[in-house]
Chains A and B, each alone.
Chain A
Amino acid sequence: MQLKFEVPIFDVKNLSFLVRENTILSNISLEIFHSEYIAIIGPNGGGKTTLIRMLLGLEKPTAGEVKLFGKKMSDFKEWYKIGFVPQRASLVDENFPATVEDIVKMGRVAQHSIFTRFSKEDAKIVHDAMEKMDILDLKEKMIGTLSGGQRQRAMIARALASSPEILILDEPNTGVDMVSQQRFYKLLAKLNKEEKMTILFITHDIGVIADDITRLFTINQKATICNDPKETISCEDISKLYGRESHLISNHKHNHSGDTEC
């Protein structure tokens, strides 16, 4: 559990987003603390990606405020602290002239001024990120020749190479096979447990990662925050949220502790 005086990584207050009078998000307030592993679920069109885009400063909220590491969005400059893996992560241009190592190195670019060269330390960080994602043997391969799962791991390695404090993933499983997805979920759990990496993860596979996450946000115009994910996903709220009958598939079950808000 987070300590009360800790500055949250994201502090969202009364956030709303309207497009031509259509409400996409309404009065969302939430906080994300260090070392949390938060899953965001909700129906397509419910505003999950919009919320992430506002957290990243890509969309301006109609009302409300987002603070990053205690700073206003306009004052925040340390973007390397945030690693982002977009929805299209595995759908790269097949002809793009980049090796896996070229891609992972991009994670170091923002830490340098234009006048400094990559150092040995950068090389080590890039090496470690590829090792963590188990793609060291692919480093000379062209990104377009990899499978969906391998590309996905390369994208996460790129995000990790910036030494972020939070990893944000927006349903990066498009075009990725089931076996690779399982491996991917294990990697995320390991990053969170062993390296205390904060993770914010938009997913539909809530049943599979239920045992790993610390909190669950459900987004469908409004946000519901659940401090005991297992309790939420075992109730019928999921079906209500998605507006149809839903089935949950969970790997195994064990008890969680924590407060319950929902």
Chain B
Amino acid sequence: MLEMLSYEFMQRAFIAGLLIATLASISGTFIVLKRYSLMGETLAHSSLVGVAVGLVAGYNPLWVAVIFAVLSSWLIEYLRSSFALYSDAILSIMLSGSLALAVIIVSLGGAFNNSLFSYLFGSILSVSSDDLVTIILFGSLSLGLLLLFNRELFFICYDEEVAKISGIKVKFLNFLLVTIVAIIIALSIRIVGSLLIGALMVIPTAAALQFRVGFKRSMLISLAFALFSVLFGMTTSYYFSLPSGATIVISVIALFVISLIINKK
């Protein structure tokens, strides 16, 4: 374990991983309660378009991914509130459309290689110093906003209409939440990969809900599960040379199954 941490790339991966676990589980609590679970998957695919553009055009893929994820989160909220479309249909269209677009861009640019593979499934080797700075910068901002608006977001999750009547700025906060989620997802694709990040947002909360405890405790359980999964998943990834996203997701699913069993009615 200590030998693993003597490598700088692993130190960077662990710092990024723990911050991402914190962000994914806290934002995931709101996402699951608002029935936005599929949102994570969709934005992850949108951020992949950003990665593709970044790889082909020679910009930092993480920055471009953040921009694309945020823009598509706004587009989703706009479509949802302005047209007679079902939310899951919008998400489904955006998800497959983004993936198709990403594949076309990298194919045309000739960048369909190992680099893209790491963005799909995550890699502990891939977190550069620049990435770590980006992750800490945007991650701290997102975490701060989530904690500041935590009471309001919880109220909206419970009953959007009553929250609105109480004077909570529901529309603004919904936009803020999807923007934060978009940023978190784009930041996570280095470690967890765009095909698997949705799981890290949704599964810790789904597991925590099995314990049937209040809001704060649920969030803490979800956080503990996400942190454990990332630590365990990255360690396994290191020792067995497996993609970190896959080992993290398998770890969190194991915790989910255990939660289901011990809390069976």
Contact = CB atoms under 8 A, between A and B. Distances in A.
B168 A102 contact: no
A82 B165 contact: yes
B207 to A, nearest CB: 12
Interface in B148-169: 148-149, 151-152, 154-155, 158-159, 161-168
- Interface SS of B by simple majority: helix
The interface centre, meaning the residue of A79, A96, A105, A162 with most chain B CB atoms within 10 A of its CB, is A96
Interface in B180-221: 208-209, 212-215, 217-218
Contact of A142 (B154, B166, B212): B212
Contacts of A84: 162, 165-166
A179 interface: no
Nearest to A162: B166
Contact of A79 (B167, B212, B213, B217): B167
Contact of A97 (B159, B166, B168, B213): B213
A69 to B, nearest CB: 13
Nearest to A168: B165
A77 B166 CA distance: 10
A97 B155 contact: no
| Chain A interface residue bracket vs B | 20 to 34
| Chain B interface residue bracket vs A | 20 to 34
B214 A102 contact: yes
Given A79-B166, A106-B155, A109-B166, A142 B213 contact: yes
Contact of B158 (A78, A96, A145): A96
Given A96-B158, A114-B152, A79 B165 contact: yes
A54 interface: no
A109 B215 contact: no
Nearest to B216: A102
Interface string A130-154: 0000000000001011000000000
Interface in B215-265: 215, 217-218
A115 B148 CA distance: 7
The 4 closest A-B pairs by CB, nearest first: A79-B167, A97-B218, A110-B167, A99-B214
25 contacts: A58-B164, A77-B167, A79-B167, A84-B165, A84-B166, A86-B159, A86-B161, A95-B212, A96-B33, A96-B158, A97-B208, A97-B212, A97-B215, A97-B217, A99-B214, A99-B215, A102-B214, A109-B152, A109-B166, A110-B166, A110-B167, A112-B151, A114-B152, A142-B213, A142-B214
